[in-house]
Structure 1
Amino acid sequence: MSPEALTAQLHRTIPLTAAMATEVRSFDGRRLEISAPLAANHNLHGTAFGGSLATLGILGGWSLVASALDAIGVRARIVVQHSECEFREPVSSDFSAVSELPEAEWPRFVATLRRHRRARIAIDTTLVAEHRAMASHRGRFAAFLEADSEPTPDPRAPLP
């Protein structure tokens, strides 16, 4: 799915993403970047609202898992199971979340999902503004294989 199509899907299915004016910037199979403007996500101090930063961290991890599974033809329902965000300094500009697949864990996650029809994976996300890491997010996501999904025969699927 293209970044534009994923952005449209997020806005259609998760109304908060439209209110936050989020935009999926890129997905290369292993790394996903999603952004949000300060104008739609500021607090009374004129800096980014912590809830918006945390939400973008969740969205980055969720979108990465969904896109990576879609890229290998696996249809699954994905939910956030655990979320924690560490804020390092105030964000006073537009910001983005950069999420990367954990290469060592991904094949095991996919194999477990195919074998047991459910699996969990932790995704680390860096929240960036002005070319600096301003916050970090760690989310654990649970995936449940769709009933009509036919997993590919090789449970050791490489990274897309």
Structure 2
Amino acid sequence: MPRTRNVDDPYYGELTIRTDSERGVVEVSGEQVPPVVIQRSPDAEVSEFVPIGTRKADRLTMSVDGAEAGLRPGPGKLTRASYRVDVTLAGTHYRFTPDSDDYTLLKRDGAGIASFGLDTAGKFTVFWQARREDSRPADAAIGYALSVAFRTGALGIFTVLLNGSENVQRP
């Protein structure tokens, strides 16, 4: 079922996030950010553990302001790092990697930009690490889109080992 929510980002104002889990689409837009679209191919095998439905790069497309971006999610297995998502856009490399149980850090060309958290009720918490003048509008749009498409945070390996494998894939 399609869902629309508005987010008030401290750097880039109001953003609109549209999701359609059935079709596998996430769209982020706003007056101060370029539109970002992540879409799952119609023939992709759907996993209930991934909001966009898959972590298979060949079954996903991403565009930023109409330009195609390379999107490569990690496999999402035992370690936090396996839940990373790499994005390449016009020579810029983004990496979205969980850095705690609840938050995921967005880096641009190796530099930390912002940490994104999204709770089960759909409420965002964003901690900008870059100063406003060092951030880019695409940073915000990409971070929000990846947060919704792949979720934020991941359990650490020690938590998984202590609590058992039922925690490997969080619903």
TM-score range, shorter chain: 0.3 to 0.5
More helix by proportion, 1 or 2? Answer: 1
Q: What's the TM-score once normalised by structure 1's chain length?
A: 0.33
Q: What's the TM-score once normalised by structure 2's chain length?
A: 0.31
Which structure has the greater CA radius of gyration? Answer: 1
More strand by proportion, 1 or 2? Answer: 2
Greater relative contact order (CA < 8 Å, ≥ 6 in sequence): 1
